[in-house]
Amino acid sequence: MEPYQTAIEAASGHKLTVVPNKTSLGLLALFEKRADFAMISGPLEIETEILKSSHPDLPFDRLRTFNIATTRMAFAINRDNPVRALTSDKMCGVLLGEITNWRDLGGPDLPIRIVKVREGGGVQASIETELLHGKNINVPDPIRVQISSQVVKVVEQLPEALGLSQLSIVMNSNVRELKIDRPIEQHLDIVTLDDPTPEMLEVIHAAREIATTAFDR
């Protein structure tokens, strides 16, 4: 949304204020009517479960989702890490805490440190849904950051780090992608409270159009 904000504004005819934060905070702002839209990058069912534990009385049935684009998440590693690819089974073992040292994957004798966004991140939700079949990531001593762009910054500094990020962020950073044998897709959606107004639909349609052009490049 941020890199293409001006284009979306021009196509929709509406001025936007974009506030980057965790998915759960965006949904809460939507419920509190401090925002017209929330942006999510993980399954809505998973994201709402986080809020239900702290705000069980919110009207979750009033949420409406509109897909804007589909992208791919990526595992980020330090450029000094010699490991280049893993099977999905091996990656599951890492994320479930069964494999805890890079040495066991053909890398250096260093503990694997998972870097991820604090609870509410869409990347983590997509991994847990698609790769771990609903199981939670369970690793010793993870490094938690506030937003996804900070993940690669930490990975750049730590040779033992394994970051959970989006492919576009990894490709535009100074880290490498650790590939697995099947892609994990992320659905990037806009969420509204109840049906959107005609003006809101204009923004949604413009965002879809701009996203299609951007992702085709």
Identify whether the C-beta of residue 118 lies closer than 8 Å to the C-beta of residue 146: yes
Beta bridge partners of 193: 63
Phi/psi for 215 (5° steps) reads -75, -15
All structural domains of the chain, each given as residue ranges with its CATH number in brackets, are: 5-70+186-215 (3.40.190.10), 72-183 (3.40.190.10)
Residue with tokens 């809101």: 200
Residue 157 burial (CB count, 10 A) = 9
Residue 188 burial (CB count, 10 A) = 19
Helix (H) or strand (E) holding 193: strand 185-193
pLDDT tens readout for residues 152-203: 999 999 999 999 998 889 999 999 999 999 889 888 899 999 999 999 999 9
pLDDT tens readout for residues 66-88: 999 988 899 999 999 999 999 99
Cα separation, 42 vs 138, whole angstroms: 18
pLDDT tens readout for residues 1-19: 888 999 999 999 999 999 9
Task: Indicate whether this model's pTM tops 0.85.
Answer: no
- pLDDT band per the 50, 70, 90 thresholds, residue 217: very low
